[in-house]
Amino acid sequence: QVQLQESGPGLVKPSGTLSLTCAVSGASINTSNWWTWVRQPPGKGLEWIGEVYHSGSTDYNPSLKSRVLISVDKSKNYFSLRLTSLTAADTAVYFCARGFSGVGLNWFDLWGQGSLVIVSS
């Protein structure tokens, strides 16, 4: 059974940096999937942050691109999110997900349980 599990600090200071990891268990990260981060501010909708392929290739949400870095560690079978220059607007539940993308196709078939990150002093 394939599972994704987010981990990282739940509280980060304004202007600081958020670092989260997503451990992939039950399957190799070295597959034809896009490993993805999605966030959801309290009471609001889903926002795509970005994605990484096992090769290290990435794509990011243009609105966050200047502050985001997503990377993959194939040896440890996890991928990571780094978000800098945090403000209260970055307070959200952060989900990792397994994505599939093809010609005219895109979906996320597996999600982590989510990790609440609060930006506050």
| 90 near other proteins (CB under 8 A) | no
Residue from the set 68, 94, 112, 117 that interacts with other proteins by CB under 8 A: 112
Q: Which is nearer to other proteins, 29 or 112 (CB)?
A: 112
8 binds other proteins (CB under 8 A): no
Indicate the SS3 state at residue 14.
Answer: coil
Which residues, at least 6 apart from 52, have a Cβ–Cβ distance to it below 8 Å? 34, 35, 58, 70, 71, 72, 79
The Cα 99–Cα 52 span in angstroms is 10
Contact residue for other proteins among 27, 41, 59, 84 (CB under 8 A): 59
d(C-alpha 11, C-alpha 23), whole Å: 20
Write out the residues near other proteins by the rule CB under 8 A: 36, 38, 45-48, 51, 59, 61-62, 95, 99, 101, 104-109, 111-114
